[in-house]
A and B are shown apart, each in its own frame.
Chain A
């Protein structure tokens, strides 16, 4: 037996932290560069899918300018967030949780209906998709929850309470209705609990329960959601109806070929065959305009981004930082999988934006915010080596 050496307490609060100016050297450069590249790629795609819209009568650059403004806001938010120690977020996690649920409730109460769903709120002429913000806040809340209960993670009660935290948010989003985003929340929960060390039997059990309850879920689905799932299995059973989007999206993607038809030269989206071409089906427009090559470049950027996020998580100074990193990576990976999968008919149709590429300020700013937190985690990691 030996005497446990005296534990020197680490700085417990942000007040003990090093000066910000010195920590800027610790930002993750890959994460930053890839973020900037993806924002640029997104602006290019916004230009390509909207400039040639024949039915659009205003300034053809309008969408691009708006996207650039949002990108500026997002980068500012990212920089600002990075300067603060993310531990503050942990401190205020209960408040953030209340804000999350409030935002989602406001959407349900005041939301503007588009395409049959109340997903956005108009404030001062701007449209906000609060569920995009809520996703990021939920990452923080869940990361904090699991970080604090790391030692008791084996207890089913911890998982159950975690689910109880998650459930109201999922329910509110589902009621909008926005099945896709509620699935993103669930994915975040799995990602964070997985990295937090939840027992595999618990995670597998949850998946098994979800699978077993599928018939019940099917009954709870709205008609259009059921139609989308059926159309996913066989788009040609209703080619003019539920299958239309899938077929047109496949045509757009496939017709791009190896190198694409060229920027703004795609025909599927400007002529209206491809619905919501600048957001939900933006990947189909990208694949049509820039082809297989453009898609591979996008995939490469995404993989750099995700691995960078994972590295930040891996090197985080504490479980909270690690789980934030894991949560953000999970959210991005899930959205990429579902959105791209939808465009190439590997996934059913759901309205989830493609990170950076889909046109939409709320999504972009929320992601920038999340990446700002990630940079904060990176900047405050333990020095490497002895």
Chain B
């Protein structure tokens, strides 16, 4: 059966349009910000290097959150502290030396961490401005640092204490102390929503005053 030429031309035009549509649709694809809502607790595998073997399917696993720049070494001279009533201490992970938990009865978001880094760890001003940056406050100048600092005495020596509250409708607050002990700098930080941080602050100050050389 011979094919009618006009029938053929009509289909050719339709086919051409379809091909153009596919080409344009695929050519105009632009990547966009994705969003997923996931349950807590999903983390990358700590693949700190390429896997031990390969079956010839793609590149080695790239490093996940673990990274190339290693976590700092443990300090030679550890510090200890007395936990306020109702507080608990969790096993440390990553950069943290310890994570402290205020009583669960405290409402709102609050986080207490202990981090220790070798040497001066960038200096006091840099660290203070880093903390301020984390809650959206502008950096301080050299001259303003002393005015913002309060000293806390402890058996292990004096700690420099800073207390910052963010601007905005929902305020965040950060109460952080640092001290250099035997060549390491210790950072103890209480951070979270302004209200619960204010509730926990007196206990946190007591904890700072109890800091001593030794182990818990």
A and B together in one complex? no
Q: Which residues of B contact A (CB under 8 A)?
A: none
Q: Which residues of A contact B (CB under 8 A)?
A: none
